[in-house]
Amino acid sequence: MSETKLVAEPRTQFGKGAARKIRRDHKIPAVMYGHGAKPIHITLPGHDSMMALKAANALLTIVLGDEEHLALAKDVQRDPIKPVIEHVDLVIVRRGEKVTVSVPVHVEGEAASDAVVTTDHTELELEVEATHIPETIVVSVEGLAAGTQILAGAVTLPEGATLVTAPEALVVNITAMVSEEALSADLAGEGASTEAAEASADEA
């Protein structure tokens, strides 16, 4: 994953009013912490930060005066309605340091024609080097038949990554496609059961 450099400013005013003013100026209030250091309150450039934080587990180089800090976006608080980031929590990391992150699962390929593919775990938790966080974990279902299950322990991980998610966790489940005839029969059966139950209730 590539690093994005963001030039930050120190933040000295706090509270809801100060945060609103920062956002009106098209900037984002944020805090950096980690490695025993005191929290560093900063302001990030709005547009560049929003672009960088579109990616999961964004690795950022935060330039603050004469110092640079390598950081991971740990918590991004977004406005529920507007396309606005309200606040960002950043964790300071070091090159070579291992971190635990959740990485999205990307399913590719076509399973057998009579099969339905369901993703049970859309993310897997991994321990990886901070500067080598994969953007996705690719799981291929090419040609797999109904009845196949792919567990977390069977997924091929990027080099240097260690699985944190339980190995027995179900990632992808491939089941048989239900035909229209079978679905109609099931619905008819359910309807008949409902009618019988209503008739019994009326007789009681």
Q: So what's the pLDDT on residue 93?
A: 92
22 burial type by CB count under 10 A (0-12 exposed, 13-18 middle, 19+ buried) = buried
Nearest Cα to Cα of residue 100 among 158, 167, 164, 157? 164
Average pLDDT for the chain? 86
d(CA 74, CA 128): 15
Q: How confident is the model at residue 42 (pLDDT cuts 50, 70, 90)?
A: very high
Architecture of domain 4-93: Beta Barrel (2.40)
- Label residue 124 by pLDDT band (50, 70, 90): very high
Give the pLDDT of residue 19. 83
What residue spans define the domains of the chain?
4-93, 100-177
Name the fold adopted by 100-177: RNA Polymerase Alpha Subunit; Chain A, domain 2 (2.170.120)
Query: What percentage of the chain exceeds 90 in pLDDT?
Result: 54
Task: Provide, rounded to the nearest whole percent, the portion of the chain with pLDDT above 70.
Answer: 86
Q: What is the dihedral of CA 126, 128, 130, 132, to 10 degrees?
A: -110
